[in-house]
Amino acid sequence: MTKKEVAQDIQRILNELYPETPVPLDHTSPYTLLVAVLLSAQCTDERVNKVTPHLFKLADNPYDMVQLSIEQIREIIRPCGLSPTKSKAIFNLSNILIDKYDGTVPNSLELLEELPGVGHKTASVVVSQAFGVPAFPVDTHIHRLAYRWKLSTGKNVTKTEKDLKRIFPEETWNALHLQIIFFGREYCPARGHKPEQCPICSKYGRASLFQ
């Protein structure tokens, strides 16, 4: 089979397993999604979802967020880790959104990446899930599975993103990146993985990874 044919079959499996692709991070607007994704760096979605209700009850928009001090934000988000850095980023990006964008979150990947604490992956998640702009955010799950399934060389996340965008149709990217994340958590973990029981690795996995 060609790599394209393998990708099509993988997509078929994922569509059957995950016909719905809800965003794992609880949010009510592009702004709350942006903050939640920023908080999820080196933190589980479950923990973020436990922290954000308290934060968003006080401030679910940039105007209210800048009324809090960085210290207040830091104390609330402490369970998410990296709270000194993340609290400053949330406060500072909120000020920029007010000053430059009338309090709204831009729907441009490039403009989002200019905000404090917002890298390419975070910006990609926001444009894809808040605005429906085709993007393929690559996290550690996707990077790992793309290599396991021989869809990418696995050199780095930038290369993996390019490889996956080349293989899969653009109109599938926004759902597909979530499907792969869901699949990785349920069937294809980094540790304790049983490839012979995995719906995809049993067909297309790199045998050398499972010795």
Q: What is the pTM of this model?
A: 0.91
Distances (CA, A) of 87 to 72, 80, 90, 117, 125: 9, 11, 5, 10, 20
Closest by CA to 36, choosing from 89, 75, 104, is 89
The band of 207, judged by pLDDT with boundaries at 50, 70 and 90, is: low
Q: Please determine, for residue 208, whether its predicted confidence score (pLDDT) is greater than 60.
A: no
- Where, residue-wise, is CATH 1.10.340.30 in the chain? 30-104
Q: What is the pLDDT of residue 205?
A: 82
Alpha-carbon gap, residue 161 to 181, rounded angstroms = 14
Helices assigned H by DSSP within 59-131:
62-65, 70-77, 83-101, 109-113, 120-131
Whether pLDDT at 2 is above 50: yes
Active-site annotation, residues: 121, 139
Q: What is the mean pLDDT of the chain?
A: 94
Residue 48 DSSP code: H
Q: Residue 167 pLDDT more than 60? A: yes
Please identify, in words, the CATH class of the domain defined by 3-21+136-210: mainly alpha
Cite the residue boundaries of each domain of the chain with CATH code 1.10.1670.10.
3-21+136-210
Q: Rounded CA gap, 104 and 32, in Å?
A: 11
CATH number of this structure's domain 30-104, picked from the four choices 1.10.340.30, 1.50.10.20, 3.40.50.300, 3.40.640.10:
1.10.340.30
Euclidean distance between CA atoms 127 and 37, whole angstroms: 12
Please check the confidence at residue 209 and state whether its pLDDT lies above 60.
no
Query: Which pLDDT belongs to residue 42?
Result: 92
The pLDDT of residue 154 is above 80 = no
User: What tokens does 101 get?
Assistant: 């964008």
105's tokens: 């979150």
Look up tokens 């831009």; give the residue: 106
Residue 55 predicted with pLDDT over 70: yes
Which of 8-12, 139-143, 151-155 is predicted most confidently?
8-12
pLDDT at 82: 97
Tokens 């809090």 belong to residue: 68
- Which of these ranges, 109-123, 163-177, 194-208, has the smallest mean pLDDT? 194-208
